[in-house]
A and B are shown apart, each in its own frame.
Chain A
Amino acid sequence: MGGREATMVLLDENGIRCDGRKIDETRKITIKAGVLKNADGSAYIEFGDNKILVGIFGPRDVHPKHMSDTDTGILRVRYHMEPFSVTERKRPAPSRREIEISKVIKEALEPAVMLEKFPRTAVDVFIEVLQADGGTRCAALAAASVALADAGIPMRDMVAACASGKVADTIVLDVNNEEDQAGQADMPVGYMPNLEKITLLQLDGVLTPEEYKKCVDVGVNGCKLVYEIQKKALTDKYFGNGKD
């Protein structure tokens, strides 16, 4: 991605970003719940050009048995990118990055999911990234949360997720692939909107303390926008058009 940033304007003088968004605008997000028949719960998200499918199984028996916990259920997450999800073929074996993202998504979902209700069982979350365009971990987390709700797994709250970052010395919401490559910082935020708690916070880049605070705030606000879309996805599936 070397000398590309020299030719690309990330933020013009009117505050418009390289893909025509304002600084506090997310990409177009659509979520659909219950798209798979054989999984216990599922969701499909389009987050800008990201396309991600999530399937849930469980609660079910743990195999291998030694992994099970007599006190609580366990959550297992697999985040996987399809070979065709990026411009150059990605080898299908789990990479270091995918293992990390599986772990952070698992830890971001754990505070919300009430696993203690199902001792000795496992809930499996399978995330398949069909097309990636920056910010897949947030999109995957948001979709996983919808799929868990669709599977009927008790949750204290939904988990919404959105990234914020620093591009051309400005804090912006929802960085896309170009901004991620050429920008100065990227901060994915996972947030439980009703409990007002952050479950995922990572930062790649350098921010001053003031910028950091602003970046978290912007990210949380983005999560609230994503939450409305998650809510709509579930309402559409379960309550049809008949509102209340």
Chain B
Amino acid sequence: MENKRKYVIPGDLVTTGPFRPEQNVILEGKKIISTSIGISEIYDDSVRVIPLTGKYIPKIDDLVIGKVLSHTSLSWELDINSCYVGFLPAQDVFGRDFSAHADELSSKLKTGDLVAARIANFDRTRDPLITISDRDLGKIDSGSLVKISPSKVPRLIGKRGSMIQMIEQATNAAVTIGQNGWVVISCESPEGLLKAKKAIQMVNEKAHVANLTDQVKEMLESKGES
């Protein structure tokens, strides 16, 4: 389906014609212009640029990993590696019958704790509202945090999860990828953990390389034998 992939920088013409501008492109008269450094893709009727650099901008329904910064008597504030702080209301954790007098927020989440969360709501007027009331969400008790560039998250996941599945299978680790570029790896064996960490960092550094999947595979296998 996809065709005409092109490297673009801001201001570059991606295409002209009746296409729908999506991510990181703007319509200027009849021209569709890229607004960031990246790879342009033209699908059936839409155009977008996959950025190669930039900060994480929250999107509704994204899975992110956050770090508790502070709390008030009603909510927590989480660092989600973005220009905005994540806002986690206490009702989300304690349930409907939360009372500010009876419940102590720090009993559930303390400053510095890592949390897997989902962006519940975000618009330009308010800080992103996040939730942890879902399966697989909530406080992360164990594992190792790796920080990568948010723009390289899609590369780490790979086509239909191919890259991350390969890393998980080869190292026997469980990897939680936050769309904000924070990744938590948990693994029983220390070697597996190290190897998974190395593989993820390799993806981060060599995201633009064409046959990266093979290179990562090679690295994973070679270390396994030695």
Contacts and interface: CB of A to CB of B under 8 A. Distances in A.
Contact of B24 (A41, A154, A158, A240): A154
Contact of B10 (A40, A58, A156): A156
Contact of A155 (B10, B55, B125, B151): B10
Nearest to A230: B9
Nearest to B13: A194
B124 interface: yes
Given A119-B124, A149-B10, A235-B9, A155 B208 contact: no
Interface in A87-141: 112, 114, 117-121
Contacts of B10: 112, 149, 154-158
B83 A195 contact: no
Contacts of B36: 149, 152-155
Interface in B134-175: 151
B9 A234 contact: yes
A76 to B, nearest CB: 14
Contacts of B84: 120-121
Nearest to B5: A244
A58 B84 CA distance: 11
Contact of A156 (B13, B35, B52): B35
Interface in A219-243: 231, 234-235, 238-240, 242-243
Interface in B1-17: 6-7, 9-13
A233 to B, nearest CB: 10
B209 to A, nearest CB: 9
Given A70-B125, A121-B83, A244-B6, A194 B12 contact: yes
A152 B54 contact: yes
A41 B53 contact: yes
Given A149-B36, A156-B26, A193 B11 contact: yes
B37 interface: yes
Given A114-B35, A119-B124, A240-B208, A194 B151 contact: no
A149 B9 contact: yes
A157 B33 contact: yes
Contacts of A192: 11
B54 A158 contact: no
B11 A151 contact: no
17 contacts: A58-B55, A58-B83, A114-B35, A120-B84, A121-B83, A151-B54, A153-B54, A154-B36, A155-B36, A156-B11, A158-B9, A193-B11, A194-B33, A235-B7, A238-B7, A238-B9, A238-B53
